[in-house]
Amino acid sequence: MTMSLELHGKPTLQGKVALLTGANGGIGLAVAYAYLASGAKCVIADLPIEPSVGVSALIDKFGDKVTYQHGDITDPDTRRRLVSSTLTQFGSIDVLFNNAAIFNMAPILDASEEEFDLAFSVNVKAMFFLMQDVAKAMIEIGNGGKIINMASQAGRRGEALVAHYCATKAAVISYTQSAALALAEHGITVNGISPGVVDTPMWDSVDALFAKYENRPLGEKKTLVGEEVPLGRMGVPNDIAGMALFLASPLSDYITAQTYNVDGGNVMS
């Protein structure tokens, strides 16, 4: 007996429009490149007024298929502007890569209310309401869509020094599941990505905080966490970009409400 396997889709984003937040560097920039190289048009959004060297290089390479917009997504007007300007420029939103986030750290007994409010404002509130705004636009357009929320291995467990961040990323995983169930009838899939330790510029700040609170030399924590990964190294942004491309592509059409660990084996679930 012979069998044939036909894939009902290809890993391409030809003709799709993606809105990416927190994409001026690091993981977001790598995902933007993957999307553009696969045929998508992209709106890259982040807090700095001017695009980074990396984003400028994408603009040089892909021309009018990519644009950069700055703004604070904790502001409702900014979120609405990002959605409306994406629709005005490209006529659709097919993919949301919901990536903007902040990291903070403090011992439980020292963690402040101000740090709590800021972490939840960016990592949870802004994430949720941008997802809501984009979902409304996708429903109005009527072609379904893909929403990808960035979680973290920190959302899978508590950590003594990182309570606020862990809690925000656990909330991202929960909202991803709830939104997936609510939006399934509209042909919109909602999935998450849970990276482990990824070597981006942010990790220099993370390492400095661990040095402060764990009384370590600078650079030691970063080295240790890389060595502890089962695959023997920290991740790099391109490791995450592959999953982000898969979840945005037709190959993931029958997948929703999932959060995928991309962490070199740190978390098994």
Tokens found for residue 160: 């003594």
- Cβ atoms of 146 and 248 closer than 8 Å: yes
Question: How distant is the alpha carbon of residue 103 from its chain centre?
Answer: 14
Burial class (CB in 10 A: 0-12, 13-18, 19+), 169: buried
Burial class (CB in 10 A: 0-12, 13-18, 19+), 187: middle
- Cβ atoms of 128 and 175 closer than 8 Å: yes
The rounded distance, in Å, linking the Cα atoms of 193 and 243 is 8
* Residue tagged 């978390």 (tokens): 267
The rounded distance, in Å, linking the Cα atoms of 124 and 101 is 9
- Cβ atoms of 194 and 259 closer than 8 Å: yes
Tokens found for residue 229: 């990964």
Residue 165 falls in the annotated catalytic set: yes
Give how far Cα 27 sits from Cα of 207, 213, 244, Å. Answer: 18, 26, 10
Looking from the CA of 223 toward its CB, the CA atoms found within 13 Å total 6
CA angle 115, 119, 122 (to 5 degrees): 140
- From 68, 165, 175, 260, active-site residue: 165
φ/ψ of 130, rounded to 5, equals: -70, -40
Active-site residue numbers? 165
